[in-house]
Amino acid sequence: MSSIWGRWVSMVTAPAEERSPRATSMSSCLPASGAPSFIQPIQEAFITLQNVLMRFFSNFFARNDGLRITDLHQGVVWGTFTKNTMRHELLMNRYDYDSDYGTVLNRFLMQAACGLPLTVYGTGGQTRAFIHINDTCKCIALALANPPNRGDRVKIYNQVAETHRVRDLAALVARKTGARVHRVPNPRNEAAENELDVSNQNFRSLGWDPVTLEESLLEEVVGVAEKYRHRIRRDKIMPSSFWNRERAEACRANESTEEPSAEHNTVTSNLEWREQMLRQLANGDDKKLERIRTALRDEP
């Protein structure tokens, strides 16, 4: 049985031939304020409700049916390539940086690559957890290799490498890229400051040594943000949806006091953006361009 809703994923597997079936579930690691950073308030309520129900059902099935269940609480995933996807550029992972579905780190990296200031919402006191995409894969493998015993309670792992306040994250990116930091009104109605006290000792006790932003962030800047900055939709970076009317008015009032930027006003249509992407992949080879179009089932 599988269920996918927003960034919450649950997977339960119980092969008939296995006497001690086990289940694995993954859920987003929410900030202390209880508000995921990418969804609207009404959706947030449903996501929270589903998480509560899943915790209840997980404990019930573990106790009643002897399922071995592991619950992974995952932080914000960063990084674009794994060892397998590095084999070809077409295998590249999504890189969302827009105001609705993008992560704060991706937004900062894209802004730095374009020479734009890093936009910190409000005080920047929101604390977020982070983990590299390679470490996500390693943690899932470790969890599957170390299931709880039959009859045990649900085993919980925090799939998190480190936590940062948004303003500290902006300072880190600015230090490595030379970008400026600019505070703007928060489009979300959330606490100005929050704590996120989380431990990853369970995974570390299994030998996990996570990659940190301090160690590998520059590779992401050069390998992705700088390389693909010509494809960036600058009109998608700043917030376009708001949690309530008060937040919308505050953000729009701030926009009206700022001088318009030529870079922010550059809008590339979806068709033009796709064509640029395909031609970049083809590297000037028309035959290769046609093969890529065919592979993607795209019209010439």
Condensed to tens digits (0 to 9), the pLDDT of residues 210-247 reads 999 988 887 777 778 888 888 888 888 888 888 888 88
The total number of structural domains in the chain stands at: 2
Token look-up 């520059």 returns: 218
pLDDT of residue 39: 45
* Same domain? 9 vs 129: yes
pLDDT of residue 159: 94
- Cβ atoms within 10 A of the Cβ of 38, count? 20
Those residues with Cβ within 8 angstroms of residue 52's Cβ, 6 or more apart along the chain or in another chain: none
* Same domain? 36 vs 71: yes
Against a cut of 0.85, is the pTM above it?
no
* Same domain? 293 vs 230: no
pLDDT of residue 85: 86
Q: Residue 289 corresponds to which tokens in the numbers above?
A: 């361009």
On whether the CB atoms of residues 127 and 167 are closer than 8 A, the answer is no
Task: Write the CATH number for 223.
Answer: 3.90.25.10
* Same domain? 177 vs 256: yes
Top pLDDT among 182 and 225 is at 182
* Same domain? 109 vs 247: yes
* Same domain? 236 vs 163: yes
pLDDT of residue 4: 32
Asked if pLDDT for residue 26 goes beyond 50, the answer is: no
* Same domain? 78 vs 197: yes
Chain mean position to CA 37: 10
pLDDT (mean) for 28-35: 38
On whether the CB atoms of residues 173 and 118 are closer than 8 A, the answer is yes
* Same domain? 221 vs 274: no
Q: Residue 225 corresponds to which tokens in the numbers above?
A: 């943000």
Q: Is 215 exposed, middle or buried (0-12, 13-18, 19+ CB in 10 A)?
A: exposed
pLDDT of residue 281: 64
Distance from C-alpha of 132 to C-alpha of 81, rounded to nearest angstrom: 10
* Same domain? 247 vs 197: yes
* Same domain? 131 vs 232: yes
* Same domain? 284 vs 209: no
* Same domain? 85 vs 137: yes
* Domain range enclosing 275: 268-300
Most confident of 72-76, 195-199, 205-209, 218-222: 205-209
pLDDT of residue 183: 94
Instruction: Give per-residue pLDDT as tens, 84-122.
Output: 888 888 888 888 898 888 899 999 999 988 889 999 999
Instruction: Give per-residue pLDDT as tens, 237-265.
Output: 888 888 888 888 888 888 755 544 434 33
